[in-house]
C-alpha cells in the first residue's frame, strides 16, 4: 500500500520558468514531510522539509506548500535551472518514525 | 567531514545465495537506516540500527538482517536471494535514533542484481 504517491513520473520545464512537483499522501498521522533530490549514481540529498503545523516553507528558490485537508504537498522551484534536473522524491513520517517515500518525479530543465 | 560510503558499488549474485552489503556512516552519526529502491520505485525502509540494536523495521522478511558495529558502521545481510531482491540498496545515517526529525544523509548505494 503506497502511502506517499507522486503521480507524475516526469516533468519538463524551460529554464527560468517555475517547476511544480506534486505529492499526495494517505496517512493522516504524517506530521513531517521532506523533499529529496537524486542525481544518477548518487544517493538522495535532502532539499527542504515542512512540519504539519505550517503550510509553507521557503528556502531560496525552493518552496514547499502543504495542504493538510487535501493531503497534498507541492515543491515549487523558481526560477528553474538546468542543474535542477534530477529525480525528486517526497517523503513523509509520523512522529519522526519510519520515512515513507514516493516513487519520484524526474525533472528536466531545458536550457 | 566524511560522508556516507557504501561497498561494493555493484554486485551480481544468483538465486539462493547470500549477500552482505556494507555502510560507513557519516562522522558523528550513531544511527543507520537501510532502504531498498527497486527500479521505478522510491526507497522502501528495511530497518534502522541505533547503538548496535535494531530500532525499527519495515515490511521485509527475516532473511533481511543487519548489524551495527561500535564505530557505527553497518552491514545488511540478505539470505536466500530471490530475483525480486534486485534493487539499489541505500544506507542513510543520522544522529539520535528513532523517532527523530534529524536529516538523513544517504550513501550512493549498492546495485544488487540477482540472476
**Shortest distance, CA A34 to any CA of chain B (angstroms):** 9
From CA B85, how far away is CA B114, in angstroms rounded? 7
In 3-state terms, what secondary structure has residue B83? Answer: helix
Q: What is the mean pLDDT of residues A26-40?
A: 95
Task: Render pLDDT for B84-112 as a digit per residue (tens, 0 to 9).
Answer: 999 999 999 988 766 677 788 999 999 99
Task: Render pLDDT for B22-71 as a digit per residue (tens, 0 to 9).
Answer: 999 988 888 999 999 999 899 999 999 988 999 889 999 999 999 999 98
| A8-17, A91-100, A101-110, B37-46: least confident range | A91-100
Q: Is the pLDDT of residue A1 over 90?
A: no
Q: Tell me whether B100 touches chain A (CB under 8 Å).
A: yes
Q: Tell me whether B60 touches chain A (CB under 8 Å).
A: no
Predicted local distance difference test score (pLDDT) of residue A95 = 81
Sheet holding B74-78: strands in order across? B5-7, B19-24, B74-78, B64-68
What DSSP designation does A82 have? G
Instruction: Write down the mean pLDDT value for chain A.
Output: 95
Q: Is the pLDDT of residue B1 over 70?
A: no
Instruction: Flag if B42 and A42 touch (Cβ within 8 Å).
Output: no
Predicted local distance difference test score (pLDDT) of residue B97 = 67
Predicted local distance difference test score (pLDDT) of residue B98 = 67
For residue A64, report the phi and psi dihedrals to the nearest 5 degrees.
-110, 135
Lookup: cell for A46: 535532502
Q: Grid coordinates 516553507 are at which residue?
A: A57
What DSSP designation does B70 have? T
The distance of Cα B100 from the centroid of its chain, to the nearest Å, equals 18
Q: Tell me whether B104 touches chain A (CB under 8 Å).
A: yes
Residues whose CB is less than 8 angstroms from the CB of residue B62 and which lie 6 or more positions away in sequence, other chains included: none
Instruction: Flag if B106 and A32 touch (Cβ within 8 Å).
Output: no
* A36 chain-B contacts, CB cut-off 8 A: 106
Q: What is the mean pLDDT of residues A4-29?
A: 97
Q: What is the mean pLDDT of residues A68-87?
A: 97
Predicted local distance difference test score (pLDDT) of residue B17 = 98
The DSSP bridge pattern shows strands B31-37 and B87-94 to be antiparallel
Predicted local distance difference test score (pLDDT) of residue B14 = 97
Binning chain B into helix, strand and coil, the percentages to the nearest 5 are: 5, 50, 50
Amino acid at each position: 500500500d503506497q502511502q506517499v504517491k507522486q503521480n507524475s513520473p516526469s516533468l519538463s520545464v524551460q529554464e527560468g520558468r517555475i517547476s511544480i512537483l506534486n505529492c499526495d499522501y494517505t496517512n493522516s498521522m504524517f506530521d513531517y514531510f521532506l523533499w529529496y533530490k537524486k542525481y544518477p549514481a548518487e544517493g538522495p540529498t535532502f532539499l527542504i522539509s515542512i512540519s504539519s503545523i505550517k503550510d509553507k516553507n521557503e528556502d531560496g528558490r525552493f518552496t514547499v506548500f502543504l495542504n493538510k485537508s487535501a493531503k497534498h504537498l507541492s515543491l515549487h522551484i523558481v526560477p528553474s535551472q538546468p542543474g535542477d534536473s534530477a529525480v525528486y522524491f517526497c517523503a513523509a513520517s509520523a512522529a519522526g518514525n519510519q520515512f515513507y517515500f514516493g516513487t519520484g518525479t524526474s525533472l528536466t530543465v531545458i536550457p | 567531514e566524511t560522508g556516507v560510503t557504501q561497498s561494493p558499488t555493484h554486485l551480481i549474485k544468483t538465486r539462493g545465495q547470500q549477500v552482505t552489503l556494507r555502510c560507513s556512516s557519516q562522522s558523528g552519526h550513531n544511527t543507520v537506516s537501510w532502504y531498498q529502491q527497486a527500479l521505478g520505485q522510491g526507497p522502501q525502509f528495511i530497518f534502522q540500527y541505533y547503538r548496535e540494536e535494531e530500532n525499527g523495521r519495515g515490511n521485509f522478511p527475516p532473511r533481511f538482517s543487519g548489524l551495527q558495529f561500535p564505530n557505527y558502521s553497518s552491514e545488511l545481510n540478505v539470505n536466500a536471494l530471490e530475483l525480486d531482491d534486485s534493487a539499489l540498496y541505500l544506507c542513510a545515517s543520522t544522529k539520535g535514533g528513532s523517532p527523530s526529525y534529524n536529516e538523513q544523509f544517504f550513501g550512493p548505494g549498492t546495485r544488487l542484481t540477482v540472476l
